[in-house]
Amino acid sequence: MGIIKNPQDIFSEITEDFKKAFGTDLVGMLLYGSATGDEYVPGKSDINILVILRDMGFTSLERGIPAVGRWRKRMVTVVFMTRDYIDSSIDAYPIEFLNMKLNHRLLFGADVFEGLTFPPRDLRLQLERELKGKILHLQQGFLDSEGKDKGIRQLIRVSLGAFLPLFRALLFLRGYEIPTGRRDVIKALSLAYNIKPDVYLHCVDVREGKDKYSSGEIKELFKSYHEEIAKLSSCIDCLEV
């Protein structure tokens, strides 16, 4: 059991593990997130698996403990849900489920994302809450970093990963086609909301370890990044849904 070079290599094995654990109570299994596309990095990216059960009581979940523990050692995160839970939670977590639907691959059984719809009003409400909350986190993160190069870089890496699902939801609200790659998402967002893509693309360079910015330059990049996120947040007030 080593690093998973290609998520597809484990599909058969992990599916059999959970079929043995849950039998007929297993409704479906889906891969979602970055592992569905070209941005998966072996040894760094998590592989996210959604397991759909008929019943999600503790008796059922206990049957999955051995398989979950075994796959966790290989950076595979397993989340359990029921179809009823998803149907009743779309209004509360539309961004999360929208992103799952956009980036998923069916491994076994029923595709629970097929046919899901996302009311624009629910998306807008969560977007406003998430964007404004994350701006505060950016500010606090900067203070915690004490303005040091390493801390700012880590803040950019982590925060950009959290903003990308919001960017996809913003594109959805404007009726734009949503690309899969993070750079393409940013370029589409610049067209939909008249933002400057360069700042975000430079942050992608930092996230991917492709930049050569000095300490002074990385601090200036972060300031521009914070300003652009604040401007994007103000666009929410102009959305008509």
Q: Mean pLDDT score of the chain, rounded to an integer?
A: 93
Give Cα 159 to chain centroid, integer Å.
11
Instruction: Give the start-to-end residue ranges of the domains of the chain.
Output: 7-109, 120-238
β-strands 104-109, 47-53 pairing: unpaired
- Token pair 């604040």: residue: 230
pTM: 0.91
- Residue pLDDT, tens place only, 69-108: 999 999 999 999 999 999 999 999 999 999 999 999 999 9
The helix/strand/coil state of 219 is: helix
> Could you read off the pLDDT of 23-60 as tens digits, one per residue?
999 999 999 998 998 888 888 888 999 999 998 776 78
Decide if domain 7-109 falls under CATH 3.30.460.10.
yes
Compute the Cα dihedral for 22, 23, 27, 32 and give only its sign. positive
The pLDDT assigned to 39 comes to 83
Q: For Cα atoms 35, 38, 43, give the angle at the middle one, nearest 5 degrees.
A: 55
